[in-house]
Amino acid sequence: MQDLFNYPNICDIAFDWNNEKLKNLIQSFIINLNKSKPHALIPACGTGRFSQYFSEFADIQAFDINVNTIEFAKKHRSRSNINYYVDDMKELNYSQRNDFDFVLILNNSIQYLKSRADFKCFLKNIKNKLSKESVIIIEMGLNWNGENLNKPYSWTAKRGNEEVKIDWTALSFNQGKSLEIVKAEYKDIISNEHISFESEIEQTIWNYETFFKDVADSNMKIEKILSFPNFEDVTDSIKNKESGRFIILLKNINQERER
Ligand SMILES: C[S@@+](CC[C@H](N)C(=O)[O-])C[C@H]1O[C@@H](n2cnc3c(N)ncnc32)[C@H](O)[C@@H]1O
């Protein structure tokens, strides 16, 4: 069993779903900030797809815990106004600013925080990096209750001549964690060999109650919640909703830095 994140070439293609609508929405949030070139922090940036895209609208600091991934991003998704570096979401030791205008984190990154304690730690650290009026944009799934287990989901991703078939299955769901397996088959462009890849990943599942409580405990407030994929404003009705994916905007309640 291999560690998926040590294979940035596969990650880059495996996570390449159609995200045009999401990008447009985030872009509209950035425009609403009313800053000519805002400063953005992108935690757990992976291979830099979103960092490169949003570098058109913002100066970007983007980090990932995996050095291979950061090297890939520097090589393939480099821009003069993006700074890629290695750091951990739980620690944020190396972020060079404390006045970011926005922070962007997606579901496929935040799920790798392993516990509520880690999530709280992340919020506390992030809060210390924000400027007044800045926002945290989180795209995340909430309340998944383990349905659709063992139902493989497959797709083929293509980049140039490279084609990768990906199979994704959630195997089990237990105590706020899901165990998922990803299989990929592709032809290595250097060795020309057929590679069969398999990786197990454990992801954290979040629910409304704990998410809301952890945000409130961190002295932040939920500004807006939009449903996915239609981006309906469900800020007031979300408590009645079943499992889903959402875009959540958080703001600081007070500007005091946490210690
Ligand atoms: C699936 S990738 C997604 C990246 C990006 N959101 C995208 O869609 O392109 C998730 C990334 O989270 C990173 N990651 C996991 N735990 C992390 C942590 N504690 N701190 C920073 N990065 C982390 C992994 O190394 C991986 O590159």
Domain ranges of the chain: 4-142+206-252, 153-204
- Report whether pLDDT(249) > 90: yes
Task: Give which of 53, 87, 50 is closest to 67, Cα–Cα.
Answer: 87
The pLDDT of 215-219, averaged and rounded, is 90
Å from CA of 64 to ligand 1 middle: 6
pLDDT exceeds cutoff 90 at 53: yes
Q: What's the predicted TM-score (pTM) here? A: 0.93
Reported as a single tens digit per residue, the pLDDT across 180-211 is 999 988 877 667 788 888 999 999 998 888 89
Cα–Cα dist 46/6, whole Å: 11
Sign of the CA dihedral with 52 first, then 134, 17, and 207 last: positive
Whole-number mean pLDDT of the chain?
A: 89
pLDDT band at 14 (very low <50, low <70, confident <90, very high): confident
pLDDT band at 145 (very low <50, low <70, confident <90, very high): confident
* Mean local confidence (pLDDT), 113-142: 91
Q: CA-to-CA distance for 130 and 136, rounded, in angstroms?
A: 9
pLDDT of 256 above 70: no
Pocket perturbation via mutation, ligand 1, pick of 60, 76, 104, 109 by most ligand atoms within 8 A of CB: 109
Write the DSSP string, 176-232.
TEEEEEEEEEEE-TTT--EEEEEEEEEEE---HHHHHHHHHHTTEEEEEEEETTT--
Q: Which ranges of the chain does DSSP label H, i.e. alpha helix?
A: 8-14, 20-32, 49-54, 67-76, 107-110, 116-127, 208-217
pLDDT at 159 over 80: no
| More confident call, 35 vs 164 | 35
Fold for 153-204, please state it: N-terminal domain of TfIIb (2.20.25)
Give the integer Cα–Cα distance in Å for 26 and 76. 23
- For atom 1 of ligand 1, the residue with the nearest CA is 108
| CATH of segment(s) 4-142+206-252 | 3.40.50.150
Tell me what the mean pLDDT of segment 143-152 comes to: 90
Rounded to the nearest angstrom, the distance between the alpha carbon of 46 and the centre of ligand 1 is: 5
The number of residues making up the chain comes to 259
- pLDDT at res. 49: 93
pLDDT of residue 1: 67
Cα of 217 to ligand 1 centre, how many Å?
25
122 lines ligand 1 (CB under 6 A): no
Range 179-185, long-range pairs (CB < 8 A, 24+ positions): 182/4, 182/14, 184/10, 184/14
Residue nearest to atom 10 of ligand 1 (CA): 109
Percentage of the chain exceeding pLDDT 90: 56
Angle at alpha carbon of residue 10, lines to 15 and 39, rounded to 5°: 55
Give 78-94 pLDDT, tens digit per residue. Answer: 999 999 999 999 999 99
Helix H or strand E encompassing 34: none
